[in-house]
Structure 1
Amino acid sequence: MTAIMRRYAGPADLRAMQELTGRVWSPASPQHVGDLAWGRFMYTPEVADWPIALWEDGGRVVGWAWANLPGDLRLEVDPARPELLGEVLAWFDEQAGGGVRTVTPLDNQADVRAALTRHGYELQEGGPCFAPHARSLRGLPEPVLPEGYTARPVRGAEDLERRVAAHRNAWNSSRVTTESYRAVMAAWPYRPGLDWVVEAPDGEFVANCHVWYDDGTRVGLIEPVGTVPSHRRRGLSRAVCLAALRALRDAGGGMAVVSPRGDEAYPVPQMLYRSLGFRPYARTLTYVRTGSP
């Protein structure tokens, strides 16, 4: 049957996109349902108003494309509908307006890589990459914190401002705001019991780890993690991640995944996750196309 393409129209469409992503998820998948929620709501609408298209067949989403303009594409296509890959890439050509286009599939996505090659993309060697890691939730160590620090989940709206401040201070970024994080908290599958912080003796939130849990796959995605610079090198990132992972296990999760940088230029996050028992299962590759379609 023919799939019909249409533009993204609101939060109900995001849930339909997540339904596809959860339905086809495997340890070889580049996306998790939490990636979509975080990517859509981490910034306010005027900042995050990127073109998104959905392909539907019989009322069910069988593919989606998300253009982070000027030239980056995220996509998900049902493996049973590989013919849609060409349509997705043609749509991206239109959105990019003939500029440089970049797609970063996992090295295990042979179908996507082949479609990119057919469409005129070339593999670029070197440069930054991301390396998805996974671990089971068996045998998690106890978190260990310095004296006076405590780890706990956020308490909803009463912690909103401090939670946002922790993220902004850890990442030196002003794009996540109380408005945008309020939308994150309202999005599926956010759970406050999986949004953990470390509280310093003076009450400041100085580290955080959030886990997005898809109970359909029993897989949780760690995104994001951060520690305020003045409190680093005290084991806080490790402790807050372990606390969040243990909460994920208690919620019924069986596996956790995370996608740190995988290149030598930014090794610290990967070192942290490997010390927690995560192991890599793929890496991203960079495909680039220049010129008009």
Structure 2
Amino acid sequence: MATTLHTPGIDGLREAVDALRDWQHDGAPMQLHPGDLGWYWRTGAAATAAAVRTWLRNGRILAVGLLDGPGLLRLTTAPDARQDEELARRLAADVTAPERGVLPEGRANVEAPVDALLHDLLREAGWHTDEPWTPLRIDLTRPVKDPGVRIEVVTRPAQAEAYAAVHRAAFDGSAFTDERWHAMATGSPFTDARSLLAYDDEGTAVAAVTVWSAGPGRPGLLEPMGVHRDHRRHGYGMAISTAAAAALRQLGATTALVCTPTSNTAAVATYESAGFHQLPNIHDRYRTA
């Protein structure tokens, strides 16, 4: 039976999240994680459902994609389907044809695991290699060092407000609010997640992160991590990243992953200072028209 494209709707989101959980394993290439859907859930369940695409064959989900912004599809497949030719050709056809409702006309990017056959097909179709991203990973089979600052898990409304304020001050153009945090916290991926705040000696929230577990024995994800612009260069990025790794270890994750543009050398250095190690750079595929 041929592979078919679906927009799963709200009722199908849990199946997509569960598939992503099952596909995470140590040693796998950087790929779409259930935490990526969890972070998108800040826009609400309906918006998240509208942004998700699944590809099924014989009732089994073989690929999950997230339309993570205009013209960007973040995509992964079941590990045993990376080199499935029929699936790869269906994916390539769906992302190339705007009428399929996956990507619009004009500039578009596709993120996929480096070992996916889809890369070869997109290259043959004229898609180019975009700017590099650097994945980083830390082994959580050993204890993580103490972050050295006060860390709190966000559970109360006042903490959600503080988390949102730090996020807005960490990322230019951010419109994140405590309402969006509460929306994110209603999503099924947040069952295995924690939002953390780091405080300075005066009790001011200075850094924030959300960590996403895919379940015990699987890699977890940091998404996002940010330091308040008024409190940078004081080691708070290292502290909150260390706390994030410790939280994922408590959730049973075997490794913690994060990915940042290679050009963001400050972020790469921050993660390395927290004990993360660089993995080989990865690239999106893009077309200009």
TM-score (norm 2): 0.84
Query: Number of paired residues?
Result: 279
Does the C-alpha gap of structure 1 residues 216 and 90 become closer, same or farther in structure 2, counting only changes over 3 Å? farther
The corresponding residue for 2:243 is: 243
- The aligned residue for residue 118 of structure 2 is 112
Pairwise CA RMSD: 2.7
1:203-223, Cα deviation, whole Å (9 max, x unpaired) = 442211221011154321111
Structure 2: unaligned runs, 5 residues or longer: none
Q: 1:155: how far off?
A: 2.3
| SS, match of residue 218 in structure 1 | coil
> 2:90 matched to 1:87?
yes
Q: Establish whether residue 271 from structure 1 lines up as the match of residue 269 from structure 2.
A: yes
- State the shift of 1:197 in Å: 0.6
Please give the secondary structure, in 1, of the residue aligned with 2:64: strand
Task: Report the residue type matching 1:285 in the other structure.
Answer: H
**Which of 98, 102, 105 is 1:98 aligned to?**
105
Q: Secondary structure at the match of 2:262?
A: coil
Look up the match of 2:218: 218
* Mapped contact 1:153–1:192 kept (Cα < 8 A): no
Query: What are the residue-to-residue correspondences of 1:41-80 with 2, within 5 Å?
Result: 41-43=41-43, 51-68=51-68, 70-80=70-80
CA contact (8 A) 2:21 2:34 kept: yes
Q: Is the Cα–Cα contact under 8 Å of residues 167 and 174 in structure 2 kept in the other structure? A: no
> Quick check: which one's helix share is greater?
2
Q: Residue in 2 aligned with 1:288? A: 286
Q: One-letter code of the match for 1:20?
A: A
C-alpha deviation, 1:134, in angstroms: 1.0
CA contact (8 A) 2:164 2:178 kept: yes
Name the aligned partner's letter for residue 134 of structure 1: R
Q: Letter of the aligned partner of 2:92 in structure 1? A: L
Q: What secondary structure does 1:184 align onto?
A: helix
- Alignment of structure 1 residues 130-169 onto 2, 5 Å: 130-137=133-140, 138-145=142-149, 150-169=150-169
Tell me the amino acid that sits aligned with residue 224 of structure 1: P
Q: Give the whole-Å Cα distance in 2 for the aligned partners of 1:16 and 1:214.
A: 14
Q: Please say which of residues 198-207 and 155-164 is displaced more in the overlay.
A: 198-207
2:13 corresponds in structure 1 to: 14
Q: TM-score, normalised by structure 1?
A: 0.83
Report the counterpart of residue 127 of structure 2 in structure 1: 121
8 Å Cα contact 2:138-2:276 kept in structure 1: yes
Contact preservation (8 Å) 1:43, 1:176: no
Cα separation, 2, equivalents of 1:158 and 1:64:
35
Query: One-letter code of the match for 1:113?
Result: H
Please tell me whether the aligned partners of residues 99 and 290 of structure 1 are also in contact (alpha carbons under 8 angstroms). yes
1:3 — aligned with what?
A: 3
Q: 1:180 to 1:8 in 2, by over 3 A?
A: farther
Instruction: Give the 3-state SS of the residue equivalent to 1:234 in structure 2.
Output: coil
State the shift of 1:49 in Å.
7.9
Task: Name the SS of the counterpart of 1:134 in structure 2.
Answer: strand
* 8 Å CA contact retained: 1:14, 1:36: no
How far residue 46 of structure 1 moved from its aligned partner, in angstroms, is 8.9
Deviation of 1:234 after TM superposition, in Å, equals 1.5
SS of structure 1 residue aligned to 2:134: coil
Which stretches in structure 1 are left out of the alignment for 5+ residues? none
Kindly provide the amino acid, as one letter, of the partner of residue 35 in structure 2. G
Structure 1 residue 198 corresponds to structure 2 residue 202: no
Q: Percent same amino acid at aligned positions?
A: 25
Q: Which amino acid aligns with 1:130?
A: W
Alpha-carbon separation, structure 1, partners of 2:147 and 2:182: 28
